[in-house]
Chains A and B, each alone.
Chain A
């Protein structure tokens, strides 16, 4: 074999999105060996959660997968609610599904834009971000924040959705097919894009399962595994949608699966907004959720509840639980343990990006540097989630 060069791709590199470091051993431009190095974004989120009350810990989860913070909120809240044995009202479940699917679309849009940018297609990036803007506006309308929402809380939501939201969703649903049409027109049959992605970064179903790869990357290898179908949560069983799959297991298949998924998500959003039940938007259990503001002035009991919840937080019965949801990147699992106190005893997150990243080592052997960029991008990792 010829002499090889070792190139550090990252942690500062335009194509690794965040601080992934790939140690590439190159023979010319061919990758002989690839070692992904993680840990540059370790923020101790799991540990931090142990020092926050259950409700405060929700804000920690935002910061892991910062492209779909609501999914993290949802996973953690579902886990906590299972420990509490708490049922949330139907309206709350619908709003959670609505917001989750919107954030799935937003997350896939960011992926699409940055992936296209990695491959050198600049305009798609701006189109995708422009399309996402409508969703960020909705985030802002419901919670006041555009990024770290913490909108989904243990026992319900931060607020009910404001009256203008259905109109915004409606407008978005009308515009969205046009955006998708544009993306497809620019990329689907683009010979350069197809040439860069088809047959690149191959991973078959068996390899995916060996590495624990989930989400669109697994579905692109032909396995119709989607937790919204196989282990429904938050009332997903009431929604009708397909799980798009592709058989090829290459970068193009991952792209195609994600585009199809966005359309399915839009369909779910449509069902959620049309069938939105009225009624309570959070659990009426005053030991968990804050009492309405106006009651504080008239009800001593409410005042006490408010004080206890705001100063100390609620207690969660001892036990441990694993709750997984389908995040845009795959199976996002929350293992939480409680010792019966007001803080989580332990929070461990099964972050899909972490498992998807380890597959890189295998995917890049014998590929070109340009393909390495295509393959890394196709996995859609979020370093905040990998390092936690």
Chain B
């Protein structure tokens, strides 16, 4: 942080938020397109060429919609919850480096808003706050389906965070650092996924559950709970939840690529584009899952989390520790 003035950070934050919003908007279109092709249909084609103006239409619609709240809702918390979700999602992304630090002569430009040195810890800490937005939102709605949805969400996110954290720790053990720049720097020759394939798979599964995506989208489970925790939300507040969900996906995709897939390392030297490519592949996997699998049942999800993922993550951690003790990858 040395040398950075408050204004400098602010400008970078705003740029990042703009970037994320743009990415969200176009990832949404991409998702609908890809899902469409999976499902023998076209996806959005009406607004603009090839449906490219769809996000603008969606955004206009969301903003123009009535902002309604149930009469019995807890007003303060009901209105605060979507903001918490979005704030947390954006906050977690702040420390994620999107590429190697750029040098223009004497001027250096790191591609993250901030680099606290132990960025990974910060991501995990702030991402675990995300559950508050969801559970408070559903609870404050004072309505039955949202309550069920938020109960599911809390239980699910808390239990999957454990396995997720352990998968992340395996990389930390492997690289001996909590600094995302250093973790990526150490993967120049060998990606962490090679010794830590199990950790990567656990991370992959947990990141789907953590972001409440199909087949683990139990918190919204439209076939069962109507729309789960955000049943009572409309307009812009609903959009906040959706944006938060997608930015969380970006965070998870970035984290997965940085921790396990070598980040911005790749053939022809490190580049921002490699990370982008890896994230895109990661996100494509999210969509692929959504197109293929039915929704898993709530109790089975919990069983799977506690009885399979957590023990396996523990064993994996032991294996990685042994691997490092035996000399690691150097």
The chain A residues found within 8 Å of chain B, CB to CB, are 5, 7, 13-15, 29, 116-123, 125-127, 130, 186-187, 190, 192-193, 195-196, 368-373
Contacts and interface: CB of A to CB of B under 8 A. Distances in A.
B224 A15 contact: yes
14 contacts: A7-B145, A7-B148, A14-B222, A29-B152, A117-B223, A122-B290, A125-B39, A126-B39, A192-B295, A195-B296, A369-B225, A370-B221, A371-B297, A373-B223
A7 B144 contact: yes
B40 A130 contact: yes
Interface in B133-192: 144-145, 148, 152
B40 A370 contact: no
Contacts of A13: 226
Given A5-B144, A126-B40, A196-B297, A121 B221 contact: no
Interface in B106-124: none
A108 to B, nearest CB: 18
Interface string B281-296: 0000000001111111
B215 A118 contact: no
Secondary structure class of chain B's binding surface, majority of residues = helix
A127 B40 contact: yes
Contacts of B148: 7, 29, 369
Contacts, number: 79
B221 A122 contact: no
B38 interface: yes
B292 A370 contact: no
B300 interface: yes
B299 A120 contact: no
Secondary structure class of chain A's binding surface, majority of residues = helix
Contacts of B217: 120
B307 interface: no
Interface residues of B, number: 29
Interface of B: 35, 38-41, 144-145, 148, 152, 214-215, 217, 221-226, 290-300
Contacts of A196: 294-297
A119 B293 CA distance: 9
Given A192-B215, A368-B298, A369-B148, A121 B292 contact: yes
A13 B225 CA distance: 9
Contacts of B296: 192, 195-196
B293 A121 contact: yes
A120 B214 contact: yes
Contacts of A117: 223
A196 B214 CA distance: 15
A121 B222 CA distance: 12
Nearest to B144: A7
Contacts of B41: 126
B298 A370 contact: yes
A234 to B, nearest CB: 35
Given A122-B39, A126-B41, A192 B226 contact: no
Contact of A120 (B226, B295, B300): B295
A14 B144 CA distance: 16
A245 to B, nearest CB: 25
A250 to B, nearest CB: 14
Contacts of A116: 294
A117 B222 CA distance: 10
A123 B298 contact: no
Of listed A122, A125, A127, residue having the most chain B CB within 10 A: A122
Of listed A186, A195, A370, A371, residue having the most chain B CB within 10 A: A370
Given A190-B294, A196-B294, 15 more contacts: A7-B144, A7-B148, A13-B226, A14-B223, A29-B298, A116-B294, A120-B223, A123-B292, A125-B39, A127-B40, A186-B292, A195-B297, A196-B296, A196-B297, A369-B148
